[in-house]
Structure 1
Amino acid sequence: MLLMSMAMYGNRLIAAALLSILIMRIYFLRDVKVVSTCILAGLIFAFGGLLTNRQVSAPVSQQNYLVKVYPDSAKVNGANLSFIARPEGAKQKMVLYARLKSSSQQRRLAAGINPMMLKVSGKSAPFLPATNLNQFDMEKYYHHQKIQSCFLVDHFVLLPPPAKLSIVDRIHIIRSKFNQYCSQLPKTLGIYATGLISGYRPVNFFDEMTGVKKLGLLHVFSISGMHVAYFLSIVDQLLAWLGLSRFKKSIISITFLGAYFVFSGGSPGLLRAVMMAIIGILNRLFKFGLSQLDIWSGSLIINLLILPEAMFLMGVQLSYGLSLGLIASEKFSYIKQTILLNFLTVPILLFHLYEWHFLSVAVNLIVLPLFGRVIFPLVIIGVIGGLVAETLVLPIDMFLRIFNDGLNAVSRLPGMLTFGKPALPIVLTMLAVTMLLAVVDRVRAPKLIGILAAVYLVTYCWIHFPLNGEVTMFDIGQGDSFLIREPFNRSVTLIDTGGKVQFNTQPWQKGAQTYQAKRLSINYLKSIGISKIDNLCVSHQDSDHCGDLPAFIEEMEIKRIIIPLGMDQNPSFMKRIANRSRSTKVISVNDETQVPGLPAQIFHPYLAGKGENHDSMVIGTQKGGLRWLFTGDLDRPGELDTLQRHPGLSADVLKVGHHGSKTSSDPQFIATVKPRIALISAGRNNRYGHPNDETLVTLKQHHVKIFNTQKHGMVRYIYRNNTGHFETVLAGHEGNL
C-alpha cells in the first residue's frame, strides 16, 4: 500500500521499480494467502484513494459560510488570522485566511477559550504552488492532508459560541485553558509544557529553541510515540491502583488515547503512535499474537486508508522510520540503537531541511535518557506545582533554562553541515542500507557501513561541485534577488535579498518578525549545498531589495557585502548589517571600482549617495555565453547617464529596472543596450501595478522576450561553458540560447 501511495501521488518511476521487486517477491513465495491478501489490500487502497481524490477535488462555489473556530488551533500573528475548518455546507476542510480589523478582535481570539462561530464572506481559491525550486510547497502539504483549497475572507462577524458543545469541543476547551495556563508559567517551563504535553508551539518557540532545531531534536518536541507511551504508562499506573479489570482498563486507555490525540493537536505523525498503542492494547486484550512488526504494519495500513498521502509528510516519515528502527534494533545496546536511529533520520532531514549537525548523535545519546527520566517528570511537576504557587516552580524553570541554554550553546559550535538536497532514489538507498545494518551480522556490517559512507560522500561531492553554473532570478514577490553561481561553486554572488515593505502599520498589526528569504532564497541555496556567499551586492537601501539582509547574515557566511558609494553613511542601512561577522568586509563602490573576486563589472553609481533609487548599483557580467545587466531600481535619467559614461554598453539579458515601473526602462536605453531577454521581478497583484504597460510596450516594440516572476516563478539560466538554457518553475517559456 505504501508503494501504491507513491505510485498514485508521488514518483511513479521509483514506485514502479519497487512494486516490480515486491511483485517478484510475492510470486516466488507462491503463498496463496499472501497473494490474496496483497491483492485485496491493493484494491481497497486504490478504491479509497480514488474516493479521496473525488471528495477533495470537489469544487467550492459557496461564498458565505458559517464556521467554527477553536482558539487553541487558530493562528493569530499580528493582524493575520488563519485556521483550518470545515464550514457548514462545505464537503471538505479548508484553510481560512482573514485580516483582523481591530486590536479588540485580536485580543478576543488570542484570549478565547470556548469555540467561536464566525460568519464569513469571501472567495475560495486554490493554493499557490511553490514558485521557487525546493521551496516548501503549501499546496502539496495541505493536499496530503485532504485539504485542497483555501478561503480568502473579505469580511467576518464574530457570533456567540455554540449552545451545545460536543466532546471534541470540550477537549479543545481544555487544551485552550491548558495553553493559557502555561503561558502564565515562567517562560521556559511554559514553552516546554506546551511543547511536550499539548503539542502547541507559541510564536517565539524556534527563537527560544534554536538548539533543538539545529541539533535534530525536534522529534522530541513533536508529540509522538515517546510521549504517548509515557502518558499511557501514567494512566496504566493509575488504573492499576484502582484495581480495575483488564477489559475496563483497556477501554479507558483507548478512550484516553483518542482524547489525547485531539488534545495534542491531532497531527498526522501522532496518528501512527496512537494507532500502534490501540492495536497493542487490543492485541494484549484478545491475545491475537501480533508481533511489534505486525502492529507497525497494521498502523501503516490504517494510516494510509485514512490519509493516503500521509507518508509524504516529514513528520510521518520520521515517526514511521524511527518506530521501525526501534523494532529492528530492539536487541541492540542503547548506544548502538541510538546511533542507528539517528542515522535513520539523517536522509529524511537532508531531503527536507538540507542540513545536519555532526554533534547531533552525541547530543541525542545524552539528551534522550534525560527527557524520559528528568525533563518529562520535571515539566509535569512544574505544571502541577504552578497551581499552588509560582515560587515553587522557579527552580524547575531555572533548571530547564540552563538545560535549554546548553543546547543552544552546543548548536552554535562548529559542526553544522549544509549537505544539500539528495535525490529521492539516493535517500531511499541511504535508508535501505541503514536499515540493513540492524539485521546483518557483524561480518557484513563493515561492508555496509563502507557502502553507506561512499553513498554520502559521492552525493555530497555531486551537490557541492556541480558541473553547471547558473544565473537565477528568485520569485520573492515585490522585490529583487538574483544568484550568480559559477561551475564547481568557484564563486557565489547574490544581488539583493528581497524583503517586505511595511505600510503605516499599527503596533498591534505587526506580528512576529519573519524573513521570507529563509523559506525562499536561503532555502534554495542550502538545498544546492551553499552556505557561503562570496559577494553579496546590495543595489540600494529599499526594503524590497535588502530588507532580508539580516537573515542572510544570520544563516550564511558572507565574505563581502558590496554597496553603492555613500550608503555606508546611511544609518538605517548600517543598522541592518550591524550583526555581521567580523570577517565580513563592507565595500563601497562606484563605477571605477574593481572588487577582487567579484565576477562582474560595476557601471553605476559614479557619485556618492544615500542609497536611493537613483543611486542604484548597476552590475554587468558575462555567463554562459550571454552578457547580463542588473540595474536595481535605477531611474530613466540614471540609465541615460550610465550610457553616456559607458558608451557601447550592451546586454543580451537585462534585469528590467524598478520591477518594470514606467520610471525606468527609457526607450533610448533599451534601444542602445539591445537586450534579447528581459527579467522582471514583481509581486503578484502588487499595489503599484508593476510591471507598467508602458514598459511592456517598450520591450515588445524592441522584440524583447520577457520572463516575469508573476507568471513564471523562479527563472534559472543553467549553463556550461558558453551554452545554456532557461528553466522556469511555473509553466511558461523555456528554451536554449
Structure 2
Amino acid sequence: MSQWIKKSPIPAIQLAILVLASYFLIYRLSVLTGLIFFFLLFRLFHQYGKKVALKTLPILLMFLVLFVGHIIKTRLDEKSIPSNISKLELIPDSLRIKGDRLSFQATSDGRKYQAFYQLKSQEEQNYFQKMDDLVVLTVKAEVSQPETARNFNGFDYRAYLQTREIYALVEISDILSIQVRQSRYPMDWILLARRKSLLYIANIFPAPMRHYMSGLLFGELDTDFEEMEDIYSRLGIIHLFALSGMQVGFFIDKLRYLLLRFGLKQETVDKIQILFSIFYAGMTGLSISVIRSLVQKTLGNMGLRGLDNMAMTLAVCYVLMPHFLLSAGGVLSFAYAFLLSVFDFEKLTMSKRILVESLAISFGIFPVLIFYFYSFQPLSILLTLAFSIIFDVVLLPLLSVLFLLSPIMVVTQVNVLFVWLEKVIVWISDRNNFSLVFGKPEAVVLLGLMVIFALIYDFFHRKKIVIGLSCLSILLLFLTKQPLTNEVTMVDVGQGDSILLRDAQGKTILIDVGGRPEFGAKEQWQKRRYEANAKRTLIPYLKSRGIGKIDQLVLTHTDTDHVGDMEVVAREIHIGEILVSPGSLTDRTFVQRLRDLRVPVRAIQVGEQLTIMGSRLHVLYPFGPGDGGNNDSIVLYGQLLNKNFLFTGDLEEAGEEALIVTYPKLPVDVLKAGHHGSKGSSTEVFLDHIQPKLALLSAGRDNRYKHPHQETLDRLSERKIASLRTDQQGAIRFIGWKNWRVETVK
C-alpha cells in the first residue's frame, strides 16, 4: 500500500483533494464546484508542470469515470422501478415499529426499497417485534417515489434514501403470506445476527441500560429512546452515539492484542482483522463512520499514517460506498478524521493536549456543523470533552463485558448508573435550552469560512493576521445570520398554517405554527409517539435563516393545525410576545398552555398595528370576543414593500361578510386564502370585493379534507386570480429589498 503512495506523481493528499473536487463536480454540479475543480486543475499544471500533470490526469480520469458510471447507474435504477411489487425480502435489522406503524428495508429483484405497513392487530405487532428470521413477504402494495424537500433548506427524503441506494417507497396494504427463507450471502447472516443481538438486549437488560448497550455496541437507538435522543441532540452531543474511531479502535486493538498473545503472526492477524472489520461493519448497521474508521485502522496497520492514510481511505471509500459524502454523517465523519490527521499537538502535555485538541476540532468542524444543523451549542464543547470520557472509557468497556457475560450471568444492578446519567443529562438540558443560531451559510460562504479557519491555524502565532481573519469570519457569519433582505414565507407545515415575516433589520413576526390534529381514539398498542410537524418543517427553516428569536408570534385562533406545535417551537426558538384574539382566551385548555410557556401574552384588538418592513400590519378582525374558532381568526392587512397582503387565518364566509361591510375599500394584491382553501371560504362576493392578484393556499399533500376544494379553485380561476399551493409547490417565499421576487421550492 505504501508503495502505491510513493508512486503517486503528486503528494497523495493533494491528489485526494483533486479527486474530492471532481467528486462534488459530478454529484453536486454547480458553478462553484466547476470553478473549484478547474482552479485546482490549473494549480496542478502551474505547480508541477505539464509532465507531472499528465501523469496525474489518468488517475483523475479513472475516478471521474467511476463517479459518472455510478450516476448513470443511479438514473437507470430510478427509471426502471416497477409499478407493482408482490414479493419483498425483508432486511432483518432494519425493522422498526412505532405503535401500529411498521417500517423496514427490503429487496426485490435486486433492488432495495423502503417499505411501510399499517399493522392490523396487536398479534401482528407482537409477531414482528419478535421476528428473528430471514423472511420473504408476499404483499399487495403500491410503489411510489420518495418525497423531495418541501421547504427551503428542508430535509430531502429522496436524497437521503439515495445515499442508501434506495430509490422507491413501498406502501403495503396487505401481507398475504410470510415465509422463512434461506440465504447464501454472509452479509445476510451478519445482519440477522445483529437483529438477534438487538432483540436479546431488549429482552434481557432493563431500560435505560439497554438503550446505551444497543447504541454503543451496535449503533442502534430504538424508538423508546426518542425522548432522550432529542435531549442529547439539543445539547449537541448526540454524536456520542455515532460509532467511529474510538469504538473501532477499542474492538480492533483488543482483538489484535489477543490474537498476537495467542502466537499468531502479524500477517495472519492483519488478514483476520479484515474479516473482523467486515463482520463488525455489518453488526453496527454498515454506518459510514464505522466503515471509514475500519478502513483507516486497517490501512494504519499496513503502515500508512497521517495524511497518506486519509488520502487512501478516501480512495477506498469512493469504491465501497460512492454516496458517502452526500450525507451529513459522511461529511462530518471525514471532516473529524481529516482534522485529527492535520492537527499536531504532540509537544503538549496529555491534559493540555486533550483540551486543546478538543477545542481545535470543535472550531475546525464549526463551519460544516452550521451548514447542516444551522446552530451551535457552545456547551457541547465541554460536554463532549466530559462525556466522551464517560462513554468511551467507562461505558463502552463496561457494556461490552456485561454483554459477553450475559449468557453466563446477567448483571443488571449497574442500571442505576444509567438512570443517574440520564438525570444529569436532563438537568443540564433544563438549564441550557437555547443554542446559538447562525443560519445556513451559502456554499461560497462555507468555503470561505473553511479557508479562513485553515489560515487561522496556519498563522496562529501571528496575532494581526489572526485578528484580521477572525473579523472576516465574523462578517461572513453575520451575513449568514442576518440576510439583508425582507421576506414573507408561507412555510409548508403540512395540513396547517405558518407564515414568517422578516425585515432587513431582523424584526420577525410569525403567524401560527402549524400542528398535527389527532383523529379517532386508538388502542394502547396502536399509539405511537409522533414527531411534531414543526420539528421537521418550521423550526429547521427558521434556524436555516438564522432566526433564533421571534419578536411577535400571532396565533390566529385555537385550532390544532394553527397552534398545535407552539410548545415545540417555544422550546427551540425564543419568543418575545404572543398575540391572540380575545375569544381565544375563553378556551381554558389553550390559556393553560399559554401560561405553561411563560411568554408574555396579549389579546390584540381591531385598530392595533404591528410594525415591520418600515410599514404596518393592521388588525382588521375580530371585532369582539368570540369562541376562538375559525370565524374568530385574527385578520392582518398591510402594504409590505410594493404589495398589499391580507392574512385571514381560517376565516370563513360569515367573517368575510363582516369584512366586506366594515371595509368598503380593501385592495389586496396577495391573499392568504382562508381555511386552507375550503369550500366555505374565499367566497365569490369576498373575492370580487378585494380583487386579489394572487392567492396563497396552505394545505397538506393528499390531506383527508381534500383542501383546497375544487369549487374554491374554480372561483379563483374564473376571476383569473393566480394561486400558489403548498401541497403542490411546497413552501412559497416573497423575498426582496424594494420589490418582491416570488420563489417556490418545487
3-state SS in 2 of match to 1:487: coil
> Does residue 1:85 correspond to 2:106, yes or no?
yes
Q: Which runs of 4+ in 1 moved over 6 A?
A: 595-598
Please give the per-residue CA displacement for 1:256-314, whole angstroms capped at 9, x wherever unaligned: 11011011010223221122223333x15xxxxx3332222111112123333321211
3-state SS in 2 of match to 1:726: strand
Other-structure match for 2:250: 230
Q: Is the 8 A contact 2:208 2:415 kept in 1?
A: yes
3-state SS in 1 of match to 2:208: helix
Change (3 A) 1:633 1:214: closer
Q: Which moved more, 1:260-269 or 1:169-178?
A: 169-178
3-state SS in 1 of match to 2:444: helix
Other-structure match for 2:8: none
How far the C-alpha of 1:134 sits from its partner, in A, is 0.6
Other-structure match for 2:504: 487
How far the C-alpha of 1:105 sits from its partner, in A, is 2.1
Change (3 A) 1:84 1:135: same
How far the C-alpha of 1:561 sits from its partner, in A, is 1.9
Q: Is the 8 A contact 1:498 1:517 kept in 2?
A: yes
Any residues of structure 2 matched to 1:93-492 within 5 Å, and which? 93-164=112-183, 166-183=185-202, 184-281=204-301, 283-284=302-303, 290-332=304-346, 333-384=353-404, 392-394=411-413, 396-411=414-429, 412-413=431-432, 416-436=435-455, 440=458, 443-444=461-462, 446-447=463-464, 449-490=466-507, 492=508
Q: Is the 8 A contact 2:433 2:572 kept in 1?
A: no
> Does residue 1:55 correspond to 2:76, yes or no?
no
Q: Is the 8 A contact 2:646 2:671 kept in 1?
A: yes
Any residues of structure 2 matched to 1:510-521 within 5 Å, and which? 510-521=527-538
How far the C-alpha of 1:473 sits from its partner, in A, is 0.8
> Does residue 1:611 correspond to 2:628, yes or no?
yes
How many residues are treated as equivalent by the alignment?
A: 714
Q: Is the 8 A contact 1:206 1:213 kept in 2?
A: no
Change (3 A) 1:449 1:145: farther
Change (3 A) 1:661 1:235: same
Q: Is the 8 A contact 2:209 2:418 kept in 1?
A: yes
Change (3 A) 1:227 1:512: same
Please give the per-residue CA displacement for 1:470-500, whole angstroms capped at 9, x wherever unaligned: 111111222211111122112x111111122
Please give the per-residue CA displacement for 1:588-622, whole angstroms capped at 9, x wherever unaligned: 34435567999522222223233222222222232
Change (3 A) 1:580 1:441: closer
Change (3 A) 1:528 1:62: closer
2:248 partner amino acid? V
How far the C-alpha of 1:63 sits from its partner, in A, is 0.9
Please give the per-residue CA displacement for 1:512-533, whole angstroms capped at 9, x wherever unaligned: 1311111111111111111111
Change (3 A) 1:233 1:653: same
* Alignment gaps of 5+ in structure 1: 285-289, 731-737
How far the C-alpha of 1:206 sits from its partner, in A, is 4.4
Take 1:450 and 1:115, find their aligned partners in 2: how far apart are those partners?
60
How far the C-alpha of 1:195 sits from its partner, in A, is 1.3
1:421 partner amino acid? K
Other-structure match for 1:44: 62
How far the C-alpha of 1:107 sits from its partner, in A, is 2.0
Other-structure match for 2:550: 533
Change (3 A) 1:720 1:155: same
Change (3 A) 1:545 1:644: same
Take 1:148 and 1:8, find their aligned partners in 2: how far apart are those partners?
19
RMSD across aligned C-alpha pairs, in angstroms? 2.5
Take 2:187 and 2:85, find their aligned partners in 1: how far apart are those partners?
25
Q: Is the 8 A contact 2:498 2:513 kept in 1?
A: yes
Please give the per-residue CA displacement for 1:529-576, whole angstroms capped at 9, x wherever unaligned: 111112211222222222222211221111222222222231343354
2:116 partner amino acid? Y
Q: Is the 8 A contact 1:71 1:110 kept in 2?
A: no
3-state SS in 1 of match to 2:114: strand
> Does residue 1:690 correspond to 2:707, yes or no?
yes
1:307 partner amino acid? M
3-state SS in 1 of match to 2:86: strand
* Alignment gaps of 5+ in structure 2: 1-18, 347-352
Please give the per-residue CA displacement for 1:610-650, whole angstroms capped at 9, x wherever unaligned: 32222222222321122111112221122102222333233
Please give the per-residue CA displacement for 1:710-733, whole angstroms capped at 9, x wherever unaligned: 222111111324x22211111xxx
Other-structure match for 1:735: none
Take 1:172 and 1:577, find their aligned partners in 2: how far apart are those partners?
48
How far the C-alpha of 1:47 sits from its partner, in A, is 2.2
Change (3 A) 1:123 1:381: same
Change (3 A) 1:211 1:694: closer
> Does residue 1:651 correspond to 2:668, yes or no?
yes
2:744 to 705, 714, 728: 728
How far the C-alpha of 1:201 sits from its partner, in A, is 1.0
3-state SS in 2 of match to 1:488: coil
Q: Which moved more, 1:230-239 or 1:52-61?
A: 52-61
Q: Is the 8 A contact 2:99 2:528 kept in 1?
A: yes
Take 1:82 and 1:31, find their aligned partners in 2: how far apart are those partners?
56
How far the C-alpha of 1:164 sits from its partner, in A, is 4.6
Change (3 A) 1:155 1:38: farther
Take 2:282 and 2:595, find their aligned partners in 1: how far apart are those partners?
45
Other-structure match for 2:718: 701
How far the C-alpha of 1:36 sits from its partner, in A, is 5.2
Other-structure match for 1:287: none
Change (3 A) 1:447 1:321: farther
Q: Is the 8 A contact 2:217 2:396 kept in 1?
A: no
Take 2:200 and 2:603, find their aligned partners in 1: how far apart are those partners?
52
Change (3 A) 1:527 1:371: same
How far the C-alpha of 1:101 sits from its partner, in A, is 2.4
3-state SS in 1 of match to 2:488: strand
2:178 partner amino acid? L
1:312 partner amino acid? L
Identity within the alignment, %: 28
Other-structure match for 1:565: 582
Q: Is the 8 A contact 2:229 2:238 kept in 1?
A: no
Please give the per-residue CA displacement for 1:301-353, whole angstroms capped at 9, x wherever unaligned: 12123333321211111111111111112444332222111112211110011
1:259 partner amino acid? F
Q: Is the 8 A contact 1:567 1:611 kept in 2?
A: yes
Take 1:457 and 1:49, find their aligned partners in 2: how far apart are those partners?
36
Q: Is the 8 A contact 1:614 1:635 kept in 2?
A: yes
3-state SS in 1 of match to 2:625: coil
Please give the per-residue CA displacement for 1:638-680, whole angstroms capped at 9, x wherever unaligned: 2102222333233221111111111111111111111111111
Change (3 A) 1:259 1:31: farther
TM-score, length-scaled by structure 1: 0.91
Please give the per-residue CA displacement for 1:669-724, whole angstroms capped at 9, x wherever unaligned: 11111111111111222222222222122222222111111222111111324x22
Q: Is the 8 A contact 1:354 1:419 kept in 2?
A: yes
How far the C-alpha of 1:166 sits from its partner, in A, is 4.1
Q: Is the 8 A contact 1:84 1:96 kept in 2?
A: yes
How far the C-alpha of 1:250 sits from its partner, in A, is 1.9
Take 2:675 and 2:373, find their aligned partners in 1: how far apart are those partners?
33
3-state SS in 1 of match to 2:423: helix
Q: Is the 8 A contact 1:71 1:109 kept in 2?
A: no
Q: Is the 8 A contact 1:70 1:114 kept in 2?
A: no
Other-structure match for 2:40: 22
Other-structure match for 2:13: none
Please give the per-residue CA displacement for 1:6-34, whole angstroms capped at 9, x wherever unaligned: 11111432222222332233224547885
